[in-house]
Amino acid sequence: AQSVTQLGSHVSVSEGALVLLRCNYSSSVPPYLFWYVQYPNQGLQLLLKYTTGATLVKGINGFEAEFKKSETSFHLTKPSAHMSDAAEYFCAVSPPNDYKLSFGAGTTVTVRA
Amino acid sequence: EPEVTQTPSHQVTQMGQEVILRCVPISNHLYFYWYRQILGQKVEFLVSFYNNEISEKSEIFDDQFSVERPDGSNFTLKIRSTKLEDSAMYFCASRLRPVYEQYFGPGTRLTVT
């Protein structure tokens, strides 16, 4: 079975500051890992994903995440926060041969001017 | 860009009534999913559907729930007799193949009174 833990339900950053959202997973097999973003009153939009290969993955809107197998982590970062980054962010995991995503509880990001 | 669409955006129903939530997945996708998110809780997997049959379902997906792909374009979730605890945001998702990411619709907010 897979599970995802997102540390911190709320993160507040200043505009221009580093955004760091933490995600740890547990999985019996090397998983596929995802970050989704949800803007108010909208659906889930994929930011980036890791399946195989390079462990540092780049996504949309300047976000990137690094898969660290030894730490079972897939933390999301963005060097410089923008007001438009205010949203809820979800880390998700699925086994390679499975069909469903298991989501973390989400982290709400607010950006201060 | 192709997108998953869902109707209605908001459905209010009385306890015990049947509801049908509708989704139009991306046209060439082969795998279809329903997830739900109760307010303040994690996004939870309900069911996956492939080749006109259910691939996997969660414990939540009991006999009150059913899914159908009636015409090759729509993908529906039916709740036969709604309960108060069915109130949630329901997301439809689709993907081309297992290795590809899931694309989510904007969700239907179901309120059971």
Tell me which residue has tokens 């709400």: A108
Share of chain B above pLDDT 70, in %: 99
pLDDT over 80 at B32, yes or no:
yes
The reported pLDDT for the residue numbered A1 is 73
Asked if A100 and B48 come within 8 Å (Cβ–Cβ), the reply is yes
pLDDT over 90 at B59, yes or no:
yes
Asked if A31 has any chain B CB less than 8 Å from its own CB, the reply is: no
pLDDT over 90 at B109, yes or no:
yes
pLDDT over 80 at B1, yes or no:
no
Which residues face B61 on adjacent strands? none
Q: Give every CB contact of residue A52 below 8 A, 6+ residues apart in sequence.
A: none
A41: chain B residues, CB-CB within 8 Å: 106
Please give the backbone phi and psi of residue B19, each rounded to the nearest 5 degrees, phi first: -130, 150
Residue pair B105/A43 in contact (Cβ under 8 Å)? The answer is yes
A to B CB pairs, distance under 8 Å: 54
Please give the backbone phi and psi of residue B67, each rounded to the nearest 5 degrees, phi first: -130, 155
The reported pLDDT for the residue numbered A28 is 78
Q: Closest-CA residue in chain A for B34?
A: A100
Which residues face A75 on adjacent strands? A66
A49: chain B residues, CB-CB within 8 Å: 101
